Structure 1
Amino acid sequence: MRRPVLAALFSLFICTRAFALDIARLTAAPVIDGALDDAAWSNVPVAASWYDFDPGDNVAPPVRTEARVAIDGANLYVAFRCFDPHPGEIRAPFSARDAIASDVDYAGIFVDSHGDGRSAQFFLGNARGVQRDGIRNDATGDETIDPDFLWDAAARIDAEGWTLELRIPLASLRYSSDAPRWRVLLVRNWTRGQRHRIASTPIPRGSSCIVCHADVVGGLELPRAAHVTAVPYVAASREGGRMKSEAGGDLQYAPTPNVIVDATLNPDFSQVESDTPEVSANQRFAIFYPEKRPLFLEGLQLFDTPLPVVSTRTITSPRWGARVTRTSDRGGFTLLVAQDRGGGTVIIPGRLSSSFAPQAFRSLDWIARGSSNFGSVKLGAVATDREVSGGGNNRVVGADVQWTRRDVDVVTAELLGSRSKTPVRPDLAAEWDGRTPSGTAANVIWKHATARWDWYDQYIGFSDGFRADHGFVPQVGFHELYTNTGYTVRPRGFLNNIRFYVTTDYEADPEGDVIYHVDTTGADMLGAHNSMFRARFAAGELRAGSKTIRRNQLLFIAQASPSKRWTLVGAEGSIGQQIDFDAERRGTGAAIHYYAAIQPLDRLEVALDGNLNWAGRNGEGRFFTAQTERLRTTWAFDVRSSLRAIVQNERTVRAATPDAAGRDGSLTASLLFQYRLTYATGLFIGAGDSRVLDPANAAWRARDRSLFVKVSYGVGR
């Protein structure tokens, strides 16, 4: 029997739709004010065919929508008329850029400027003109809002509903040919008692892709002029009584629309919001945090390797960096080099747990990633290199292949190898004694999805010596088999989507001893008020140190958007038997993540995010209690300026050491005013205070206080 990948080389199935959306060429540019009364729109064809694809099965939407798409020599323009029978119920909060939730009224466009149906940039605006942009990657099913593009949006609410205008510079798109074929998808989100996702083209239920169903357009006659953007910045800060000033900047040069050269000198990330806290106590492996820094976000989808061997947050404090990226309908390539001053941490992976070592060294870092498309087959390669100042290195190379059969099956395979020489710093990590570990990693995935049945099967294997210092690989020395099979029904009523499923996850070391084995059965449910529920019973065993311990748990999710003002409330986690990994014992307890958000006014949002983990045993009390809370309050003056306050608390109590030494914690607070004319031009003024729990007297001790001001200004031509 032929293997699927080999068969794909001959069949080359790919989703293609006929030309269905007209993009008019303008001779005069419209004013972007949200009014839609500009004469430039009068001769632009109206896209009036719309489909409710969720929860409906491409049925007529409950509300009417009209859209127009046009282009000139510099910009792509989109206009929406979103009719609403009850304009007073439109959910249109003021918020920061990208902070458009799924319970808000919004509309926008997905643009696949390479026309390969694999990924797309998206540009969304709510009924206040708040912007949300990013990249949709059909290969992974992810939508990331990390990249920020240069574009404009304006909106108005009136007696018929609301209107939205978008102006997207062609320089913000990455097209590659003189006569390109794009894929374009128009979308609208309408949420009242039930959320409705509406699109300009049918999207089949159970489809494994969205971009592949977008309308194909061509004959756009796009310019190919080069452009340059420079973003210098100056910043001043006061930390611990010391004044510090910095200057730096970013430079971007595009010799053609699909080739981007980036350079940065002393990049500053002081305006980046702190990470949402995660409970790290009683965790076996390191916790992943996403990239938020602008330097690494060009062509971000290229870094989506099947195994996460590229995580640019491992480059902690670059002194300088440079990057070249090229994308087209046939694939893409990116090469990144940076000099890192260090100061962060390095993950030391293991079979049962990971640890950390201080990144007390400078390094020269290289990351290269490329991919090529051959119809329904995508081939990729990756290489990373970290050269440590004073001796030491880590080098990873690998290749991957992905085959897609229509929008039903996706098969992915990857093989990697690594060779390393650790620094001679046994004072920082026991294995850093100059040794030279090497190893391999492999990954195979088969995803199948239809309107009713779906499954996800995966094999992962890491040898003990594999290291990926530029990635997120906290565990090595294991083989894992995972399978998840589900069946979906769509009843009428409060719940409109219920997926029943069973899973098996089996993980063993190279000697065949079980590390982790769990079987689960459960159901995921979607319903009115943007609600989601999960109930799943999990039974299995896992290794804690020298012991293998059985564990039974109930895993759950319950969340909803109850109203226009109470926009989110929810909790998720596990209840039942919990394992204290440090003491290698089992107890009962819970691990709960809870969250809520309210919008008392259209300009004010208050959001709470917290975690509570505990485990204990009758007659012995609690083994440990770990908690985090994060309260964020944001006042939006308008769509460009806001004031944000964050208070964050983390603490852990271990019963094994009931005195003060068994307690630790931290308390941080920050205040930030930001004005962002564009993603590149802005003013940031902030203050922060950080305290730690002193174990000697269980009191808070000041750790750090800071003030900063930053001004950046983007110029380009």
Structure 2
Amino acid sequence: MRLYSCLLFCCLFSLPIFAQKKNDAYQLHIRRATSPVKIDGIVDEPAWAASDTATNFYMILPMDTSYAKVRTDVQMTYDDKNIYLLVVNYNGAPGPYMVESLRRDFAFLKNDNFLLFMDPFDDQTNGFSFGANAAGAQWDGLMYDGGKVDLSWENKWSSVVKNYPDKWIFEAAIPFKSIRYKKGITQWGINFGRNDLKTTEKSSWAPVPRQFPSASLAYTGVLVWDVPPPDPGVNVSVIPYLLGGVNKNYENEKDAAFRGDAGLDAKIGITSSLNLDLTVNPDFSQVDVDKQVTNLDRFELFFPERRQFFLENGDQFTNFGYSTIRPFFSRRIGLGVPIHFGARLSGKLNKDWRLGVMNMQTGKQTSTALPAQNFTVAALQRRVFARSNVGFIFINKESLNYNPDKALPGQPVYNRYNRNYGLEYNLASANNFWTGKAMVLKSNTPGRSGKDWVHAANLQYTSRVWNISWQHEYVGNNYNAEVGYVPRKGYIKLNPQITRLFFPKKGALLSHGPQLSTTNFFDEKMKRTDNEVLLSYGMVFRQRNTFTLWSSTSYIKLLQPFDPVNIGKDSLAAGTRHSWNTIGADYVSKPQSLFTYALSTRYGGYYADGKRFTFTGELGYRFQPYVSLALSANYNDIRLPQPWGNQAFWLVGPRVDVTMTNTLFFTGFMQYNEQMKNVNLNTRLQWRYRPASDLFIVYTDNYLPEPYYVKNRALVLKLVYWLNL
């Protein structure tokens, strides 16, 4: 392991030294507007006649070796308050445009759309994205890790889409106060992306290789300002909310409980690139509930954070580590207890340094004797070489006015504190072909010492035809991340993977090729406990439908007793060994159709010489752009010896989305989980009565399906208002 680590660190640090930006030759000059600009989708202002045009886009898909066949023209200008964007998206083929709905933050590949990718620091790592689909639904998000977009971010900006027989025009005004940038910088990284489903063409202004997303900041062109962008001035936003609701618990046979509440968020621009977020008594009742899954796993399942306060600009915290080694996982904060207040300072100190500091205070939970707790997270990131960075994180969870030695008999005992320290190096070469990460973590908990650290590293090479990666992990048995997500401890993991792609010049297939990976787990004495070898063959068609065949062989030595159907019937003994083979297939239909579907199936062995058959399907139909219907279903048929016998579980989730306008949305969905014996109904009406200000009406029900019985139900009305001072 030490030899592997040394070799990997040498590779990670040596690769990007000779980096330089690829698309410096692609420049768009932006000048101050010569006249007022009205956001109406009509090109009649003198300011647009006087501005430069970015055109001659390059094709990314289906091929990246020629100009795009679908024409797109982009112009930009500005005044003291806003950046203005005008995009003329010409028709690529006759027929109606293809969109999912009018809901904001749509799925990129399922809509005719245009997106702007903006890197105000020109560091090729962080930035902002704005855009719209052909029906006028908005898209906005924070960019991080050189090409990922966090769509949870929202801010105040305005746009209009207007359709014409031969084109659709997107016009937008983005306030300088809505973004972060460094004063005095006159060159920003910028690129524009277009997705045209009728021709199945994806394109960008500055060329991007097809193995990378069009959002890749490694391939931005340059936005050249005639003078430095203006100072946005005082930048303070206050976002209060009022809430009223009622809920009734039928299982406890109690009277309905009424609630009224109020809270406040504030956003304060410390500098043009550093922001302070404050929250007092936050409420997240309007957030979508988690999508349920049939749980057949030995370890804790991961459900992503959905609360906006923790998501906005939080990538420094949440992306530290790996998917199963997260020292910070914000869902641990406010779990079953109220959050009294919180603060987060985040943003850029300059082009090379990035800072994130957060503090949250929760209240007591009397029923579980959980004390009031304080959570502090601090992250500092330094850019090195072209696009790589070194990051540090510190996490502290402190129980206030609490002594574990004085816990009453029968009460849970909590640690007085838990701390984590981490250092990681993130590699991103200038051309994005080489990416990777190497990290070390250390925990500090009273009564725990030794084997309380983590080391992990990975390196990935991505070319047009090859994708080769290596990842290894070590998690000590005493490592403790109480504000993190680390479902497995006391192991060493080795995971190599290789993919080869072929690109036919003709025919229905766009690309196809095999992938081989193996995942190996060992205990801390390097004795094997788990092994899976997976071989798959994937096919991507020119209409963007996909088909994958796969087979795997698995071996597991149980380290703890485990119930293979997770219904509490019985458990397999620790130390028992199990092996089986599995085959499977996955198909996703082309996104251009009004009726779309995805099918997945697997069949093979299971624990205790059993058999498992799984079928998953997702069906969707849209009456664009106003109504979208969807149905997801998962069926598991498990055949085991006694005492489990034959077990079958359905998980069904119908959903309806109605977007009456691009400011009025209704969502209703149900989840029937046979394994958990629960039916959940959730409906939400959202009215965006002004930019970034909303009225929510949320109704939820939970039922016991057999016999049919109401467990609890709730109704909440919440009003949010965004005020710029």
1:264-343 to 2 correspondence within 5 Å? Answer: 264-280=279-295, 282-303=296-317, 304-307=319-322, 308-316=326-334, 317-327=338-348, 328-341=350-363
* Counterpart pick for 1:110 among 111, 117, 139: 117
Root-mean-square deviation (CA, aligned residues, Å) is 2.5
> What is the rounded CA distance, in whole Å, between the counterparts of 1:398 and 1:519 in structure 2?
31
Distance 1:320 1:562, change over 3 A: closer
1:690 is aligned to 2:702 = yes
Structure in which a larger fraction of residues adopt strand:
1
> What is the rounded CA distance, in whole Å, between the counterparts of 2:711 and 2:364 in structure 1?
21
> What is the rounded CA distance, in whole Å, between the counterparts of 1:135 and 1:58 in structure 2?
30
> What is the rounded CA distance, in whole Å, between the counterparts of 2:642 and 2:347 in structure 1?
63
> What is the rounded CA distance, in whole Å, between the counterparts of 2:678 and 2:238 in structure 1?
38
1:416 is aligned to 2:441 = yes
1:222 is aligned to 2:246 = no
1:58-97 to 2 correspondence within 5 Å? Answer: 58-97=65-104
1:372 is aligned to 2:382 = yes
Contact 2:396 2:419 in 1 (8 A): yes
SS of equivalent to 1:40:
helix
Q: CA offset at residue 160 of structure 1? A: 0.8
1:306-705 to 2 correspondence within 5 Å? Answer: 306-307=321-322, 308-316=326-334, 317-327=338-348, 328-341=350-363, 360-376=370-386, 377-389=388-400, 390-391=402-403, 392-407=416-431, 408-421=433-446, 439-491=452-504, 492-544=506-558, 545-561=574-590, 563-566=592-595, 568-572=596-600, 574-579=602-607, 585-617=608-640, 623-652=646-675, 664-677=676-689, 680-693=692-705, 698-705=706-713
Q: CA offset at residue 621 of structure 1? A: 8.8
Contact 2:28 2:224 in 1 (8 A): no
* Counterpart pick for 1:256 among 262, 267, 271: 271
> What is the rounded CA distance, in whole Å, between the counterparts of 2:119 and 2:364 in structure 1?
37
SS of equivalent to 1:296:
helix
Distance 1:624 1:173, change over 3 A: same
Q: CA offset at residue 711 of structure 1? A: 0.7
- In structure 2, give the amino acid aligned to 1:366: T
> What is the rounded CA distance, in whole Å, between the counterparts of 2:712 and 2:212 in structure 1?
50
Cα deviation per residue 1:93-112 (whole Å; 9 max; x = unaligned)? 43322134512111020011
Q: CA offset at residue 231 of structure 1? A: 0.4
Point out where structure 2 has 5 or more consecutive residues left out of the alignment. Answer: 1-6, 249-255, 404-415, 559-573
Q: CA offset at residue 474 of structure 1? A: 0.8
> What is the rounded CA distance, in whole Å, between the counterparts of 2:497 and 2:12 in structure 1?
22
Q: CA offset at residue 28 of structure 1? A: 3.1
Distance 1:573 1:291, change over 3 A: farther
> What is the rounded CA distance, in whole Å, between the counterparts of 1:18 and 1:261 in structure 2?
36
* Residue matched to 1:160: 166
- In structure 1, give the amino acid aligned to 2:221: D
> What is the rounded CA distance, in whole Å, between the counterparts of 1:124 and 1:622 in structure 2?
53
Distance 1:49 1:596, change over 3 A: same
- In structure 2, give the amino acid aligned to 1:74: K
Distance 1:511 1:679, change over 3 A: farther
* Counterpart pick for 2:37 among 30, 42, 45: 30
* Counterpart pick for 2:178 among 168, 172, 189: 172
- In structure 2, give the amino acid aligned to 1:211: L
Distance 1:226 1:700, change over 3 A: same
- In structure 2, give the amino acid aligned to 1:173: I
Range with bigger deviation, 674-683 or 627-636:
674-683
Q: CA offset at residue 12 of structure 1? A: 5.2
Range with bigger deviation, 206-215 or 265-274:
206-215
Q: CA offset at residue 511 of structure 1? A: 2.6
Q: State the identity as a percent.
A: 20
> What is the rounded CA distance, in whole Å, between the counterparts of 2:365 and 2:513 in structure 1?
45
Q: CA offset at residue 704 of structure 1? A: 1.3
Q: CA offset at residue 619 of structure 1? A: 10
Cα deviation per residue 1:560-584 (whole Å; 9 max; x = unaligned)? 1364421x310235321233xxxxx
> What is the rounded CA distance, in whole Å, between the counterparts of 2:100 and 2:428 in structure 1?
40
Q: CA offset at residue 453 of structure 1? A: 1.6
> What is the rounded CA distance, in whole Å, between the counterparts of 2:149 and 2:258 in structure 1?
40
SS of equivalent to 2:14:
helix
Contact 1:417 1:438 in 2 (8 A): no
- In structure 2, give the amino acid aligned to 1:285: F
SS of equivalent to 1:483:
strand
- In structure 2, give the amino acid aligned to 1:276: K
> What is the rounded CA distance, in whole Å, between the counterparts of 1:375 and 1:359 in structure 2?
50
* Counterpart pick for 1:203 among 205, 208, 217: 208
SS of equivalent to 1:313:
helix
Cα deviation per residue 1:579-622 (whole Å; 9 max; x = unaligned)? 3xxxxx23212334321211034211111223222311599995
Q: CA offset at residue 238 of structure 1? A: 0.3
Runs of 4+ in 1 over 6 A off after TM superposition: 434-438, 618-621
Distance 1:29 1:458, change over 3 A: farther
SS of equivalent to 1:218:
strand
Distance 1:157 1:342, change over 3 A: farther
Contact 1:599 1:605 in 2 (8 A): yes
Contact 1:445 1:456 in 2 (8 A): yes
Range with bigger deviation, 314-323 or 19-28:
19-28
> What is the rounded CA distance, in whole Å, between the counterparts of 1:573 and 1:358 in structure 2?
42
- In structure 1, give the amino acid aligned to 2:545: S
* Residue matched to 1:352: none
Range with bigger deviation, 524-533 or 640-649:
524-533
Contact 1:146 1:291 in 2 (8 A): no
- In structure 1, give the amino acid aligned to 2:88: R
* Residue matched to 1:424: none
SS of equivalent to 2:331:
helix
- In structure 1, give the amino acid aligned to 2:259: K
> What is the rounded CA distance, in whole Å, between the counterparts of 1:132 and 1:33 in structure 2?
18
SS of equivalent to 1:179:
coil
Contact 2:29 2:224 in 1 (8 A): no
Contact 2:347 2:356 in 1 (8 A): yes
> What is the rounded CA distance, in whole Å, between the counterparts of 1:311 and 1:151 in structure 2?
30
Contact 2:620 2:628 in 1 (8 A): yes
Contact 2:475 2:489 in 1 (8 A): yes
1:227-238 to 2 correspondence within 5 Å? Answer: 227-238=235-246
Q: CA offset at residue 642 of structure 1? A: 1.5
Contact 1:100 1:126 in 2 (8 A): no
Q: CA offset at residue 195 of structure 1? A: 2.4
Q: CA offset at residue 484 of structure 1? A: 0.7
Distance 1:89 1:10, change over 3 A: closer
Distance 1:244 1:82, change over 3 A: same
* Counterpart pick for 1:126 among 129, 133, 142: 133
Contact 1:87 1:158 in 2 (8 A): no
Contact 1:234 1:711 in 2 (8 A): yes
> What is the rounded CA distance, in whole Å, between the counterparts of 1:55 and 1:515 in structure 2?
43
Distance 1:92 1:670, change over 3 A: same
> What is the rounded CA distance, in whole Å, between the counterparts of 1:573 and 1:311 in structure 2?
31
- Residue correspondences, number: 669
> What is the rounded CA distance, in whole Å, between the counterparts of 2:488 and 2:536 in structure 1?
27
Distance 1:418 1:647, change over 3 A: same
> What is the rounded CA distance, in whole Å, between the counterparts of 2:160 and 2:291 in structure 1?
30
* Counterpart pick for 2:219 among 197, 213, 234: 213
